[in-house]
Amino acid sequence: MDFRHPHSQRLTFYLFIFLCFFSLLRRKKSSRDSMPVDIASVKGPLEVELAIGEAKDEINNHGRNSTNNNSKMVVFGNASSNNFNLEDLLAAQAEVMGKGSFGTSYKAVLDVGTVAVVKRLKDVRVSESEFREKIEIVGSMEHENIVPLRAYYFNRDEKLLIYDYMPMLSLSALLHGDTVSDRTTLNWNTRCGIARGAARGIEYLHSRANSVSHGNINGYRAPEVTDPQGVSKKADIYSFGVLLLELLTGKVPICTLLNDEDGVDLVRWVKSVTREEWTSEVFDLELLRYQNAEEDMVKLLQLALSCAAEDPDTRPSISEVVWKIDELYQSSLQEEL
């Protein structure tokens, strides 16, 4: 697989682009509802069918009683290229991809052969006009490093976001896999390319409006974020710093763990190891093969730690981050020649 394909650099934003929509709404939640939950899970067919069926019942009931356009699925872009409708979507075979603070994600395989990702939102108590206004902002976003929102559905009790399915693009799966043998070998240039694409995607989001932030970059919340709705651009920078550390160390951040898997608090661990001097001990063993790039690896490590600074005011801007990673990426290309 060529990881420099544009799709490979959408890793960070797949499924979670909708969170910048929530940061725009800034709705209030109770402290109980605000606890971060970002645990991927797969359920059995019966549970999935019940979940999808429940959504279908809600849509059918409210759709029949609706006197406006709430029962329609709104498609972004060229509607003629959309080869399925809402009924096709609800009749699709589905499996749970993950659960988060704002809802459940399903992989839906339609009879027409299309595979889509459906995000079923929960506890979104906003008016139709406010929802549509904010979701139109998300739907208008076009960037090579962001998976676009394809369509959405709204009624009072049911709200769905629909994306194209992008297979084999989980950074966690590439770096860690279920077993050691499942890991994909990612060289230095590839990791720089992933970092570069993710940074550019964040830069695009931050440039759209002062109030737009991503809010859940790979699930690594900044320490100052206690309310999922209180995310900020500086919090995004922290989360991106953790993602960089994961790329460099090959270690699983503790906040992404499932069950009893081993993991570390990456920021704390890297700081403890590098407190006295910069050392190759922190880097993924795979990266140690690229001795000519060790200086650049240290530079990216220093950038990651500056992004993950405890004080938000000392974190760099995303534009500065992009500029520095661009330099390292170009250097990595030279190393391959």
pLDDT at residue 268 tops 80: yes
Maximum average pLDDT range among 91-95, 133-137, 267-271, 294-298: 294-298
Maximum average pLDDT range among 137-146, 170-179, 290-299: 290-299
Confidence tier at 247 by pLDDT (50, 70, 90): very high
The conformation of residue 20, written as its DSSP 8-state character, comes to H
> Cα–Cα distances in Å, from 302 out to 103, 110, 243, 273, 325?
35, 46, 13, 13, 12
Maximum average pLDDT range among 65-74, 229-238, 260-269: 229-238
| pLDDT reported for residue 113 | 79
> 3-state class of 156 per DSSP?
coil
Lowest mean pLDDT among 15-29, 30-44, 285-299: 30-44
pLDDT at residue 125 tops 50: yes
Whether 158 contacts 62, CB under 8 Å: yes
Residues contacting residue 236 through CB under 8 Å, at least 6 positions apart: 202, 205, 206, 213, 214, 215, 217, 318
Whether 175 contacts 186, CB under 8 Å: yes
| pLDDT reported for residue 42 | 34
The full 3-state SS of 100-122, as one line of letters, equals: ECCEEEEEEECCCCCEEEEEEEC
Question: Tokens 């406006």 correspond to what residue?
Answer: 68
Mean of pLDDT over the chain: 71
Maximum average pLDDT range among 23-37, 178-192, 240-254: 240-254
pLDDT at residue 23 tops 50: no
| Contacts of 271-278 spanning 24+ positions with Cβ under 8 A | 271/305, 274/301, 274/305
In tens, the pLDDT along 24-44 reads 444 434 333 333 323 233 333
Give the mean pLDDT of 223-232: 62
Which run of H or E residues covers position 97? strand 93-100
| pLDDT reported for residue 54 | 55
Give the mean pLDDT of 163-176: 71
In tens, the pLDDT along 126-143 reads 788 888 887 887 778 777
Whether 312 contacts 234, CB under 8 Å: yes
Distance, CA of 96 to CA of 51 (rounded, Å): 9
**All structural domains of the chain:** 10-164 (3.30.200.20), 171-336 (1.10.510.10)
Give the mean pLDDT of 290-316: 94
